[in-house]
Amino acid sequence: MARQLFTPPITNPRFDPNQSIRESYKITASSMHFQQIPHEDQNDNEKNSCDENSTTSEKLENDKSPILTKQEIDDALSEVSNLPPELSKLIDIFIDDLKQPKYVRPLSVLQLSSLFQSFYIKFDKASFQHVSAVNNSGNNYSNGGSSSFLAAKETLSSGLSGIFGRSRSSSANSLMRPRRSSSLFSNESMSNSNNATQMLSPDEIKKQLRINELNNMKIEKYMELCERDVFKKILIVGTSVSSPNKMKTFKPHQLQTFKVGNLFRNSVEFTEYNRLLNEKILCLSKLSIMNKINLIEFLSLNNGIDPEPKFKEIKEILYEFTYHSISPCEKIKALLKLHEIMTYSQEMSNDDYLSLLIYYIITIVPRDIFLNAEFIRLFRYKKKLVETESFALTNLEAALVFVEGLTKSDFSNELQDKLTENEGKFLESSISSRVSLPSKATITHKSNGNSNSNIGDIMTPTIQRPDVTRSSSYDGFRTVFDSSLKNIIGKIRSYTPPHPNTVNGNNLHNNNSNNNLNIPRSSSQLSIELGNRDTMEMSRDGSRSTSSSSRSSASLEHGNREFTGDLTVTASINGADRKEFQKSWKKYKGYKFEDLTICELRDLFEIYQKMMQ
């Protein structure tokens, strides 16, 4: 790759400075040929299927790199239609690993996302290494009979190429990934780095940049293919785990069509939120069809904008987005297309963008659109989810937030009278007041700094767990008491003998406070999760009406049972008893320890004793 860098490998005793100088200053017109050869080699291997290359992201890329012609980019990228075997293998390993029955409890979607993001980072690095390796081996080939000097240079060049290749062109990324931006080409290093760079002529630097650019594009393409292949593979192999401890519970017929909802099955909040939002959108759509509400008027789309001409086109894209695409990158492409169509219209001012988007969502009613949006947020490679992609996704999310927040009071009194009981129920309150989603802040994966250290620890990602306060205060005592109590409850509810290895996992998590990311590796982990959920519910108690709280907690409870599927009840407790029993231990849910009377404490103790039996 770094063919033009004829720089002295100082540490190499066989280095011949004269030759180096000769090489450095000779006309390097042929250099590009060296680079082309490996591409062509690859070409033969990989041209078995074709894939469209003109994607929005790549178009953007073109704008950013004036030193490359469109032709060159097309040439380079048309070769890449499938992943090379060694990269493909990484995906296989990852999927196999996901399917290992190593988790006692099903993974939540946030945990899954975290695993995927680590994998993407690893894959990104591997692609980079692959591209460098291919270039280097190509060079060797073309210089078949070269001296040992070249071999020595080879070592150096791979080192340098490491640095070069890491100066990714998209600057947003370099901000996010400091390591990659510490390139030889950054400001300071250009002027005062070692003599290695000073020996390059501007021409050579330019060429090097072109090659880097092409390589970066290739890597980007690999990343896209990676996302596509990972999810295709999941579609093929399904997501169930071949052991009693299921990772996810899938029915065979679901394997035929990939539904993003499947990934969210273990995160009840998301599925519940999605269900409510589906209902709400459908309800609004019906109201609009029945002319009970005038959407165009309601959304103030009345200043000369007619959403109809593009309706069909938008509908197709939204269907593509929700039903016909699999990988996050396909979905985001659909979204970008939507974004493009909407922003390139002459009559639309930006103030109407959201209104129009909301209009389309309500009239088209794409099913599970919320889960699809979240799917991108969680499973698109974070490094790529920037700029327009991020903007388009944010717009969709904003539109959905607007819809979920719509209540009766947003409409005229006239309408409020006309609503049927059922419709009234859907428009009673905002969804976010009924279901609170796990905080997104906690799922920001640390892709920034420690990417190096992420290599190899793919199954032990930086999953964070709630911080259990340990102090001598009442609160601390209560926490300990609570968690020990819940520990037992957890054991009763879903006791699975912890796998000797999995128990170790308990301490693997980072110590970040207040979030729901805990890989349930053993039953004791349950206590944390239960406690966590409890905190969530208590906080809701504080802010909202008790009725809605208990409703959602009930639904969570229900969902929990429904989705985990591996809950077992100890034989000594029969169904009815269990119900009553649950009721009894639940009745102290919202209580604070300091508010408990002695009687209540005794009661609690009795519950505790019952549990112990």
Partner 1 sequence: MNTSVTSIKLVLLGEAAVGKSSIVLRFVSNDFAENKEPTIGAAFLTQRVTINEHTVKFEIWDTAGQERFASLAPMYYRNAQAALVVYDVTKPQSFIKARHWVKELHEQASKDIIIALVGNKIDMLQEGGERKVAREEGEKLAEEKGLLFFETSAKTGENVNDVFLGIGEKVPLKKEEEQNNANNERESNSKRVDLNAANNGSSTNNACSC
**Token pair for residue 152?**
């020595």
Choose the binding region for partner 1 from 102-110, 251-259, 375-383, 399-407 (rule: CB under 8 A): 399-407
345 touching partner 1, by CB under 8 A: yes
Q: Which amino acid is at 268?
A: V
Residue where the block lists tokens 């985990």? 564
Choose the binding region for partner 1 from 216-224, 249-257, 509-517, 537-545 (rule: CB under 8 A): 509-517
- Phi/psi of residue 464, nearest 5 degrees: -110, 155
Interaction mask 142-171, partner 1, x per CB under 8 A: -----------------------------x
- Dihedral of CA 565/463/447/373: which sign? positive
Of 509 and 540, which CB lies nearer to partner 1 in the complex structure?
Answer: 509
- Dihedral of CA 556/559/565/571: which sign? positive
CB of 300 to partner 1, least distance (A): 7
Of 148 and 510, which CB lies nearer to partner 1 in the complex structure?
Answer: 510
> Of residues 300-319, which lie at the interface with partner 1 (CB under 8 A)?
300
CB 246 within 8 A of CB 99: no
Q: Which of 506, 550, 560, 582 binds partner 1 (CB under 8 A)?
A: 506
Q: Which of 87, 263, 342, 519 binds partner 1 (CB under 8 A)?
A: 342
CB 534 within 8 A of CB 246: no
CA distances from 401 to 99, 428, 543 (A): 34, 16, 19
Interaction mask 560-599, partner 1, x per CB under 8 A: ----------------------------------------
- Dihedral of CA 192/196/198/202: which sign? negative
477 touching partner 1, by CB under 8 A: no
CB of 413 to partner 1, least distance (A): 18
**At CB < 8 A and 24+ separation, what contacts does 453-460 make?**
454/118, 454/121, 454/122, 455/121, 455/122, 455/125, 456/122, 457/118, 458/94, 458/97, 458/115, 458/118, 458/119, 458/122, 459/97, 459/102, 459/115, 460/505, 460/508
> Of residues 352-371, which lie at the interface with partner 1 (CB under 8 A)?
352-355
- Taking residue 561's Cβ as centre, other Cβ atoms within 10 Å add up to 13
Q: Which of 202, 244, 542, 575 binds partner 1 (CB under 8 A)?
A: 202
Of 67 and 151, which CB lies nearer to partner 1 in the complex structure?
Answer: 67
**Token pair for residue 328?**
């996050």
Over the range 11-25, which residues count as b (16 or more CB within 10 Å of their CB) and which as e?
eeeebeeeebeebbe
611 touching partner 1, by CB under 8 A: no
Question: What is the three-class DSSP state of 156?
Answer: helix
- What residues does 464 pair with on adjacent strands? 510
Q: Which of 500, 543, 595, 613 binds partner 1 (CB under 8 A)?
A: 500
Q: Which of 131, 305, 348, 419 binds partner 1 (CB under 8 A)?
A: 348
Nearest to 570 by CA among 496, 471, 479: 496
Q: Which of 462, 494, 515, 525 binds partner 1 (CB under 8 A)?
A: 462
| Residue count, binding to partner 1 (CB under 8 A) | 60
Of 122 and 248, which CB lies nearer to partner 1 in the complex structure?
Answer: 122
- Taking residue 347's Cβ as centre, other Cβ atoms within 10 Å add up to 10
Of 153 and 168, which CB lies nearer to partner 1 in the complex structure?
Answer: 168
Of 135 and 464, which CB lies nearer to partner 1 in the complex structure?
Answer: 464
**Token pair for residue 89?**
């293998």
Interaction mask 430-459, partner 1, x per CB under 8 A: ----------------x-xxx--x---x--
CB of 239 to partner 1, least distance (A): 26
Q: Which of 33, 151, 178, 577 binds partner 1 (CB under 8 A)?
A: 178
Q: Which of 196, 401, 538, 567 binds partner 1 (CB under 8 A)?
A: 401
| Binding positions for partner 1, rule: CB under 8 A | 63, 171-172, 174-175, 178, 181-182, 185-188, 190, 202, 205, 209, 300, 339, 342-346, 348-355, 387-388, 391-392, 394-395, 397-398, 401-402, 405, 446, 448-450, 453, 457, 460, 462, 498, 500, 503-504, 506-511
